[in-house]
Amino acid sequence: MSDTIAEMRLPTDELRDDLPFFTNTLGMRLDMIYPADNPSIAVFSGHGLRVRLEKGAPEPPGTIRILTDSPDKFADGQRSLTAPNGTQIEIEDRNPPLVLPETRHSFVVRRLADQAPWIIGRAGMNYRDLVPDRLGGAMIASHIRIPDGGPVPDMVHYHRVGFQLIFCIHGWVDVLYEDQGDRLRLTPGDCFIQPPEIRHCVMEASDDLQVIEIGVPADHVTEIDHDMTLPTQYLRPDRVWQGQRFVHNIAAKADWQSFRLPGYICRDTTISENTQNVAGVQVVRRGEGTPVWSTHDCDILFGFVMGGHVTLEGEGRDPFALEPGDAYVIPPGMRTRLSKPTDDIEILEVALPGAFETTVEPE
């Protein structure tokens, strides 16, 4: 047991007013009060917090946030209170429901040549935003890289998300996942579906690792799990997290088939069937036939060019000559055509939901 504790100090003018508030209203325990004849300091503990109220302390009153599984039963259901000493108290749901913002549809083209800045993010990874407007908060698409390989300074963690894809485009990365056995490696063309709240830890990466990460919604919480050790004891590949199964799709084992658009073929990653149609992920290549104009009714349709060149034409828009590293989003109902594909074209297509209708115009 640690012999070190920490306190948060707050000012007060009159302890006798604060005592019933912190003990009765907030349900904290009085641990210490002194001096006996005219108390000026009181120490309370509770809800994982130790608070020291001190007469004349120079700090401002501050804010205490209390997270509880039953906010309606705490403090008579009040969500905002002010202590006699001026401290603001906020009562919040400890596990709030995930809110998926309504998609704000837009036509997006993000060019690698435009040199969008790389931002240093979690665990020292570099992030490039592929959809700057994030469709009103509905999704985030990131191009992530680790320039220098080796062990990754990551911790066991999980994400409060509705959907999350990790797709490798260069290099390799080893990751440990809850109930999925020992390290799993992604190589170019491989992908993981990380079901909501599955515990995992990035272990090691090659030089110049690059992945595409898709997350829904755009703003989601990452929480560290200090108690779980990976790998876990049990191997449960069919375990379900909030309706979704973990997927490790390996490109070398995939079958190629007809794509929804003429002129192309695709390989499916099985993600639609393993997420109950929350999302679908396919890799698209050049096939037989001539590309044509089409529309779709998918809520979010994202594409990332991994190889080759193709021209994205949109009704009422100048054509975009796309090359590796470029990304786009095509909103529902917009007439577009992926024309002039080179023989080595390869596109990552992510659709939310996984099943949707495409209307193809005659040649």
Give residue 254's identity as a one-letter amino acid code. Answer: A
Q: What CATH number is attached to the domain comprising 62?
A: 3.10.180.10
On whether residue 53 sits in a domain, the answer given is yes
pLDDT average, residue stretch 56-76: 94
Q: How many domains does the chain have?
A: 2
Helix, strand or coil, per DSSP, at residue 305: strand
Kindly report, residue by residue over 3-18, the tens digit of the pLDDT: 899 999 999 999 999 9
Percent of the chain with pLDDT over 70: 99
Over 90: is that where the pLDDT of 29 sits?
Answer: yes
Over 60: is that where the pLDDT of 1 sits?
Answer: no
- Of the three residues 196, 219, 242, the one that is the final residue of a domain is 219
| Backbone dihedral region for residue 243 (phi beyond 0: left; psi -120 to 50: alpha; all else: beta) | left
CA–CA gap between residue 101 and residue 212 (Å, rounded) = 22
Peptide bond into 60 cis (omega under 30): no
Over 70: is that where the pLDDT of 298 sits?
Answer: yes
Mean pLDDT of the chain: 94
On whether residue 281 sits in a domain, the answer given is no
Helix, strand or coil, per DSSP, at residue 338: strand
Kindly report, residue by residue over 72-98, the tens digit of the pLDDT: 999 999 999 999 999 999 999 998 888
On whether residue 313 sits in a domain, the answer given is no
122/182 same-domain check: yes
198/160 same-domain check: yes
Q: Let me know how long the chain is.
A: 363
Tell me the whole-structure pTM to 2 decimals. 0.88
pLDDT average, residue stretch 114-135: 84
Structure-token match 């007060």, residue found: 12
On whether residue 326 sits in a domain, the answer given is no
Instruction: Yes or no: say if 348 and 283 are a contact pair by the CB < 8 Å rule.
Output: yes
22/59 same-domain check: yes
On whether residue 303 sits in a domain, the answer given is no
On whether residue 74 sits in a domain, the answer given is yes
CA–CA gap between residue 102 and residue 107 (Å, rounded) = 16
Instruction: Yes or no: say if 241 and 198 are a contact pair by the CB < 8 Å rule.
Output: yes
Instruction: Yes or no: say if 139 and 215 are a contact pair by the CB < 8 Å rule.
Output: yes
Select from 283, 274, 275 the least CA-distant residue to 167.
283
On whether residue 211 sits in a domain, the answer given is yes
Q: What CATH number is attached to the domain comprising 177?
A: 2.60.120.10
CA–CA gap between residue 173 and residue 311 (Å, rounded) = 31
What is the residue range of 167's domain? 110-219
pLDDT at 96: 87
Helix, strand, coil share of the chain (percent; to 5): 10, 45, 45
